[in-house]
Chain A
């Protein structure tokens, strides 16, 4: 009898170890898979922005995209990941109520010279979490880059991308996308899919930059009326947008906390970054409804395939903050409203004399704010954290969050771009803009048969 019990106990112990190993490896592969899906976002942005440029500027736009991604990886490693864990309670670097924040926690979890930030057989999570967040960071820079095409210097843009991706959005995320974030603990701010902390911050940062960058030559007439400057390939732009939407699924998947690990919120249920329970099923209903509502509304409002595809993306952004909370037909209606708002907002930005080449301020900035406010209008009253006495979601809480995202984004975008302008790195010279940025600085030709051959004898980089 005793031998049988001992044998059973040994088998149970083996099974528990096996289950723990399976859960650990499944959690790790869950986040690992979000990363190639999010790289799809950047494949999409490449196609989107090169297509939105005139042919003479196409490759310069592509280089901008590749460099933003490339520079954000090391700078997010140096600083961004640490900022997320250090600053949730504001600027004091203190620990929050859940004890997963503050300078000591950040030094242990995210120091770029610490043992957690490299190959470590005892840590199956830090690298894939870091990777997912770094991809969010790269997405913020890509949101900005389309608006600035055809007249921004490559190095100046890269500096702005580093500022937005590795310092600014991640501070907003520490405040509003973290269980210890002061917007969450004090105001019940809820932003499951980062409508505010990624899209609104990036959109308004972009507005701050556009104010200092100025419009493209020929965009506005002396009487203030605007001219359309079409890109050279609308098909490439529309396909690019669809790829961004495909990659967005990876982004939203990475917004979820896997269960059953020591760092998980729950032993059995998926959860938001805040610890509130949810299901991937719920997200799937509402992501699809968001795509549909936004795309259909933009069709009615514009008939234009560029705006329709932007509307589909904008529909998802409109419901991203509450993807875990909405009844799906409600999400459809919220996204539909977003698809109507977007072209109106874009026209208003243009009437302000701002040349946003791809409508990023309207699509990401304004619809990001709509997404944040929609939670307050349609989904107030939920506990914002899964603990007793947590603040609840409310319209006032979402308004406070929206104001913080706008202020943080717009203020830092304006100041950083002003500094970049003062050191002469913001805008290309007039001659280069007129000639075309590719001829001016790229050792390759996008369409040699149309634009003329490569301008170095061998075609190799000089």
Chain B
């Protein structure tokens, strides 16, 4: 899930850290984005609500 998938640079192709667990990190990023929007919407509506 973390760490290098290669031990030598010679012939390396896709060499990124996280190789083999791309989907998990993608899920983390999606959850962070959606979560940020949900939390942000709650805060925004709360701010508008205080004006009433």
B-binding residues in A (CB < 8 A) = 276-277, 282, 289, 293, 296-297, 299-300, 303, 322, 325-327, 329-330, 332-333, 336, 377-383, 386, 392-393
Q: Is A327 in contact with B28, judged by CB distance below 8 angstroms? A: no
Inter-chain CA distance A303–B40, complex, in Å, is 9
Q: Binary interface profile of B, 1-42, with partner A (CB < 8 Å = 1, else 0)? A: 011101111001001111100100110110011001001100
Q: Is A327 in contact with B9, judged by CB distance below 8 angstroms? A: no
The one of A297, A326, A333, A386 that contacts B16, using a Cβ cutoff of 8 Å: A326
Inter-chain CA distance A284–B36, complex, in Å, is 23
Q: Is B2 in contact with A379, judged by CB distance below 8 angstroms? A: yes
Interface centre among A297, A326, A327, by most B CB within 10 Å?
A: A327
A293-B32, A322-B17, A329-B26 known; A303 and B43 CB under 8 Å? yes
Q: Is B22 in contact with A300, judged by CB distance below 8 angstroms? A: no
Q: Is B25 in contact with A381, judged by CB distance below 8 angstroms? A: no
Q: Is A330 in contact with B18, judged by CB distance below 8 angstroms? A: yes
Smallest CB gap from A393: residue in B: B4
9 tightest A-B contacts by CB? A327-B18, A381-B4, A379-B17, A329-B29, A329-B25, A382-B4, A330-B18, A332-B29, A327-B16
A300-B39, A329-B28 known; A380 and B9 CB under 8 Å? no
Inter-chain CA distance A299–B38, complex, in Å, is 12
Task: Provide a sorted-by-A list of 7 A–B residue pairs whose CB atoms are within 8 angstroms.
Answer: A296-B36, A297-B32, A325-B16, A325-B17, A329-B22, A329-B26, A378-B17
Q: Is A327 in contact with B32, judged by CB distance below 8 angstroms? A: no
Chain A residues closer than 8 Å to B32, beta-carbon distance = 293, 296-297, 332-333, 336
Smallest CB gap from B20: residue in A: A327
A to B contact number (C-beta, < 8 Å): 76
19 new A-B contacts at CB < 8 Å, known A276-B9, A326-B17: A277-B9, A297-B32, A300-B40, A303-B43, A325-B15, A327-B22, A327-B25, A329-B22, A330-B2, A333-B29, A377-B2, A378-B2, A378-B17, A379-B17, A380-B2, A380-B4, A382-B6, A383-B7, A383-B8
The one of A296, A326, A327, A392 that contacts B33, using a Cβ cutoff of 8 Å: A296
Inter-chain CA distance A282–B36, complex, in Å, is 26
Q: Is A330 in contact with B25, judged by CB distance below 8 angstroms? A: yes
CB distance from B15 to the nearest CB of A (A): 8
Chain A residues closer than 8 Å to B8, beta-carbon distance = 383
Q: Is A379 in contact with B26, judged by CB distance below 8 angstroms? A: no
CB distance from A332 to the nearest CB of B (A): 4
Interface centre among B9, B12, B33, by most A CB within 10 Å?
A: B9
Smallest CB gap from A380: residue in B: B3
Chain B residues closer than 8 Å to A381, beta-carbon distance = 3-4, 7
A299-B36, A322-B17, A326-B18 known; A379 and B3 CB under 8 Å? yes
Chain A residues closer than 8 Å to B18, beta-carbon distance = 326-327, 329-330, 378
Inter-chain CA distance A336–B34, complex, in Å, is 13
Chain B residues closer than 8 Å to A300, beta-carbon distance = 36, 39-40
Interface centre among B17, B26, B40, by most A CB within 10 Å?
A: B17
The one of A303, A329, A330, A386 that contacts B9, using a Cβ cutoff of 8 Å: A386
Chain A residues closer than 8 Å to B33, beta-carbon distance = 296
Chain B residues closer than 8 Å to A336, beta-carbon distance = 32
A327-B18, A329-B22 known; A379 and B29 CB under 8 Å? no
Interface centre among B3, B16, B26, by most A CB within 10 Å?
A: B16
Smallest CB gap from B2: residue in A: A378
Chain A residues closer than 8 Å to B15, beta-carbon distance = 325
Chain A residues closer than 8 Å to B2, beta-carbon distance = 330, 377-380
Smallest CB gap from B5: residue in A: A381
CB distance from A39 to the nearest CB of B (A): 32
CB distance from B2 to the nearest CB of A (A): 5
Chain B residues closer than 8 Å to A289, beta-carbon distance = 29
Smallest CB gap from B8: residue in A: A383
